[in-house]
Amino acid sequence: MMAGEKVIFAVVAELMLGVRIEEAGKSLGASVETGTVSGDFGVQIMGVKPSVVVADLAVEGLDIGALAAAARATGTPLIGFYPHVDTDLRRRARAAGVERLYPRSRFLRELPVILRGALEG
């Protein structure tokens, strides 16, 4: 990673979802690094130094609170998305401090716009 390079740290389980994020990131001049739910998010984020963290909040085993805390501690914006029918997951994400929260369908439909806003803002 070169100085000034924009990096998206993605926590996703589905390969095709990761590919879509990677393609959208590339179109905006950003690279994508993938995180894992089994590691310490603070260590992962500090190692990557991303411009933004993107997470599928429905990933099995994801500790939303730990991810949100690590993003806050590093000053990294966190974008979370969830299945629109899972209102409990949305509520828990809000309670954990995920400020940029989207239903999955909207996130995918507006992916380049959402990422551009996070990378430039």
pLDDT tens figures, 27-75: 999 999 999 888 899 999 999 999 999 999 999 999 999 999 999 999 9
Whether 97 is covered by a domain: the verdict is yes
Question: Does the predicted model carry a pTM greater than 0.85?
Answer: yes
Q: What CATH number does residue 89 fall under?
A: 3.40.50.2300
**Does residue 39 belong to any structural domain of this protein?**
yes
**Higher per-residue pLDDT: 4 or 56:** 56
* The pLDDT of residue 121: 73
- Residue 85, domain extent: 7-120
Residue 62 burial (C-beta neighbours within 10 Å; 0-12, 13-18, 19+): buried
Is 1 part of a structural domain of the chain? no
Give the pLDDT score at 5: 86
Nearest Cα residue to 25 out of 101, 121, 112: 112
Give the total number of structural domains in the chain: 1
pLDDT score for 50: 96
The residue type at 103: P
pLDDT cut 90: percent of the chain above it:
90
Whether the pLDDT of residue 103 is over 70: the answer is yes
2 within some domain: no
Q: Which has the closest alpha carbon to 31: 17, 50, 13, 45?
A: 50
Banded model confidence at residue 4, pLDDT cuts 50, 70, 90: low
26 domain residue, yes or no: yes
